Structure formats: C-alpha cells, structure tokens
Amino acid sequence: VFVTACGPPGPRALLAGRRLLDAGQADSALAELKTATRLLPTNAAAWNYLGLAYHRSGQWTNAAEAYSHALRLDRDLLEARFNLGCLWLEQDKLDAAKSEFTAYTLRRGNAVEGWLKLGAAQLRGRETSNAEKSFREALRVEANNVEALNGIGLVQLQRNRPRDAAESFTEALKLQPD
C-alpha cells in the first residue's frame, strides 16, 4: 500500500516519522510519530517507532513507555521486544533485558542480533555458560560473526582461560582485521 501526500494523515505521519528515523533525525521524527500515535492510537508499530525516536533522542523513560504501550497493543510485536531489550541493556537493567531478548529469540531463533544481545546481557551479568550458549547460537546462525567470536573470547577471559580467548579473538581478527 502506497500512501501519498493526499493519503490519510495518520499513515502519512507514520511514514514521515519512519523516513526521518531512517535519516538519523530522531528529534524531528518525534513530532510526526506523536501525531501518528494520536491519530492511530491502536497501531502498535506506530508506538514502537515512537519509542525508537524517544530512545534515539535519549528520552529513555518515554521510550520505555512507548515500547510497553506497543506491546500492550500487540504482545507479538517482536521488534518492540528487541528495542525494549536494547533500552534495558543500555541502562544496565540486565534481568529486564534478558527477559526481552529471550522472548525475542524464542520466536526468532535465526535472528543473529537477538542472540548477540542476549549473550551480551548474560555476559555483563557474569552468566558465562549462558552467554557462551547464546554466542554459539549466533555462530550457528551466522558462522563467521565477528561479534559472536569476540563474545566467546570475552567469556573465556571471564573463565580465566586466556589461551582459548586469544584463539577466539584471533579468529575474529582474521575475519575483520580492523
């Protein structure tokens, strides 16, 4: 469905907000996405994008509220779960982050980004066994994922296994020398 300038104002504001987000203009996107959620109050995707705009603008409380509102409207909106998990991880709310990333990976088992974020949250919480499993799952999905190899190296360092860590880091550097 294509929405043009003469289309309904709610979808038009949503598309304009998404374009601004894609262009890296989160602050400008806020006005459009606020309009979209006012005109489309039951549109979970609009609330998720509003959360993303708040998140990128550093307004974390508003971001959490918008993501949560999106999930109340659609519990299966996995993008909102992922985004909320990222917000919690950035704020070092590890249990909440792990919960969102676990829900995400249960539904999207082949989404490498979910496994990487779950592994990062587990690693920060010093859950080395779980973190290693998550990073290995990321490698199952994408065999040469540098971030997963680096994560496994960090797990090995936490376990005081520097030789194994060096092997993981070396493998990552072979794939991405910079």
Query: pLDDT tens digit string along 56-105?
Result: 999 999 999 999 999 999 999 999 999 999 999 999 999 999 999 999 99
Instruction: Please give the model's pTM, rounded to 2 decimal places.
Output: 0.90
Give how far Cα 117 sits from Cα of 13, 93, 94, 121, Å: 31, 13, 11, 6
CA 57 from centroid of its chain's CA atoms: 16
Q: What is the pLDDT of residue 6?
A: 57
Q: What is the pLDDT of residue 19?
A: 97
